[in-house]
Amino acid sequence: MHDRKAPLLLCAGALALLTGFAAPAHARTAAPQPASAATLAATSAAIASSTASSTASSAAPATALPVAGSRAAAEPPTVYGKAAILVDAETGAVRFGEAENRRMPIASLTKTMTAYLVLKSARPGDLVEVRPEDARYAREGGGTTAYLRPGDRLPVKDMLYALMLPSGADAAHALARTYGPGVAGFVARMNATAKQLGMNDTFYVNADGLPMPGSDGYSTARDQAVLGVQALRDPLLRQVTSTRRYTTARTGTHRSYTWSNTNRLLGSPGAVGLKTGFTRAAGFSLAFAGERDGRLLVGVLLGESVSSRRFDTARALLDWGGRVGV
C-alpha cells in the first residue's frame, strides 16, 4: 500500500484533536468536551496535511505503529480488504493503517451517520410515522429492509434498531424524511456534520448507502473511524449497535417487530458494534469496535471480497491491537 508511517502519525494527531484526547497512547484524560470551532479548524488542517502527505508518498507496505511504552510489537494480522484502520478511542492513537485515506464507497456504513445525526435532533421516545414511500424506497432500490409497515408510528429508539440491526433502508428513509426535514435536507445535514467532524474525504448522497445514479458517494476508513469513535460515545447508539437481536412488542401505535443484527462479530468477547455494509461497488465493509484490557478500539474494513472474512479480520485486529497497545 502507499501509506507511510509519517502520514499515520499525522492521522493519529488529527483524530486525537477531534476526539478531545491527548496524543500519547498511554495518556488518560477526563471525559472530552464538545470541540470548539477553533479545534475543528485545527483538526481539518491536520487532516488535510495528513492526506496530502499520504498522496505524495510512494508505495509502501501496511504500517503498524509502535506504541509508546510497549516493547517490540508483534506483526499485525493480514488484511485482505482494500483499506483498513484500527484506532484507540481513548487516545486517538492509530494502531494500524492500510490505505486508510483512500476514497471508496462505503455502502450501509452510511447509516451510522444517519443514526448519529438523528440523535442530535430527536428524543428516543419521539414517534416517527412510516409512510408507503419509505417501504417503496427500500423495495424498489433493492436495499435491505426492516419490513416496516406503513401507518405504524414507532419511537425513535425502535427506529434506530430497525436502521442498524437489519440495516433497514426503509428505516433510513423514514428517519431522513422526518428529520431533514425531507431526505435532501437530511443528506445536506449529513455532509455538513461530516465537515464539522473533520471528515473531509466523505460525501454522502443518501441516508442509507444504496447506489445512486451518477455517484455512490464516498468516504475513507479513517473518516469512518472518526465517526465511529463519536457515535459510540452516545450510550443509546452504543447499546443499539451492540445488540444481536431486538423485539418491540405491539402497542397502540405500531405492530410487533423482531430484528437480528447483521454484524457477526457480536458475541465475540468484548465486541460492542458497529455496522456492516455491502454493495457490488463497495464490496463487504465493516465498522467495528471492541474492548481490550479496559480500552475501546475502533476499526474499519473496506472493500473486502469475502463476507465472513471481514469478521475474522476484525477479531484478529482487535486481539492484536489489545496486545500491542499496553
Give dist(CA 79, CA 98) in Å, integer: 8
My answer on whether 285 and 256 are in the same domain is no
Last residue of a domain, one of 260, 281, 307: 260
The number of folded domains in the chain is 2
Asked if residue 64 and residue 13 are part of one domain, the reply reads yes
Same domain, residue pair 131 and 226: yes
> 303 — phi, psi (to 5°)?
70, 30
N-terminal to C-terminal alpha carbon distance within the chain: 27
H-assigned helices in the chain = 5-19, 37-56, 110-121, 132-141, 156-164, 169-179, 183-196, 221-231, 235-241, 307-324
Does residue 31 form part of some domain? Answer: no
**For residue 136, what is the domain's CATH number?**
3.40.710.10
Q: Which of 208, 234, 260 is the last residue of a domain?
A: 260
DSSP states of 15-35: HHHHHT--SSTT---PPPPPP
CB contact at 8 A, 242 and 274:
no
pLDDT tens, position by position, for the chain (326 residues)?
A: 444 333 343 344 444 434 433 332 222 222 333 444 443 333 333 333 333 333 343 333 444 443 433 444 578 999 999 999 999 999 999 999 999 999 999 999 999 999 999 999 999 999 999 999 999 999 999 999 999 999 999 999 999 999 999 999 999 999 999 999 899 999 999 999 999 999 999 999 999 999 998 888 999 999 999 999 999 999 999 999 999 999 999 999 999 999 999 999 999 999 999 999 999 999 999 999 999 988 999 999 999 999 999 999 999 999 999 988 65
Instruction: List the domain range (segments joined by +) for residue 163.
Output: 107-260
**Nine-digit cell string for 8:** 499515520
Residues with a catalytic annotation lie at 108, 111, 167
Q: Are residues 181 and 276 in the same domain?
A: no
**β-bridge partners, 295:** 292
Q: Is 173 part of a structural domain of the chain?
A: yes
> Using CA atoms, how far apart are residues 221 and 249, in angstroms rounded to an integer?
37
For residue 295, being part of any structural domain is answered with yes
The DSSP secondary structure of 203-224, one letter per residue, reads B-SSSS---BTTB--BB-HHHH
CB-based contacts of 224: which residues, under 8 Å, 6+ apart?
106, 109, 112, 202, 287, 300, 302
Q: Which residue is it, cell 486517538?
A: 92
111 and 256 in a common domain: yes
Same domain, 118 and 98: no
Is there a single domain that holds both residue 126 and residue 222?
Answer: yes
Q: 151 with 177, same domain?
A: yes
